[in-house]
Amino acid sequence: MAEFSFPRSQKIINEFQTTINAIGDIFNDKLMSSEFRRAPLFYSLFCVIYDAKFGLPKSNHPRLSLTKKRNKILLEELQKLDKVIRTKEPAKRFVSFVDAAKLSTADPGKRKLRHDFLWDNVLSKI
């Protein structure tokens, strides 16, 4: 069997693990009781943290250092958003995000909406 070679595989593995670790550092043991444990929100959370640390293609967002102090702020903001997501009738400014958070990991428009909302309403606080 021929060995498969994937250029930059170690870089991608390291960035993936760093992003997963950053999410763990933010949530500690609180992720599993959060709405962010669900696939659409977890994927969006992963992407926005990856974007903050390493940048996504075509992203104009700045790179951010996630310190303990910043992680605490991020957790507080994510917990506020978690409460909004659980609300039966969220405030008008949250409705499109909450609707996009319910399903559809495959819909690029909803993924972008979630990403932009998380950046503008959570990461922008640090």
Q: How far apart are CA 3 and CA 6, in angstroms?
A: 10
Q: By the 8 A CB rule, do 51 and 61 touch?
A: yes
Q: Count how many domains the chain has.
A: 1
CA distances from 90 to 27, 87, 97, 104, 117 (A): 23, 6, 10, 19, 15
Q: Flag whether 18 is in a domain.
A: no
Look over the chain and give the mean of its residue pLDDT values, rounded to a whole number.
Answer: 94
Q: By the 8 A CB rule, do 75 and 4 touch?
A: no
Quick: pLDDT tens for 84-126: 999 999 999 999 999 999 877 788 999 999 999 999 999 999 9
Q: Flag whether 87 is in a domain.
A: yes
Q: Flag whether 67 is in a domain.
A: yes
Instruction: State the residue range of the domain holding 80.
Output: 35-125
Q: Flag whether 5 is in a domain.
A: no
Other Cβ atoms less than 10 A from the Cβ of 51: the count is 22
pLDDT of residue 6: 78
Q: Flag whether 21 is in a domain.
A: no
Give residues with Cβ within 8 angstroms of 117, minimum separation 6.
96, 97, 100
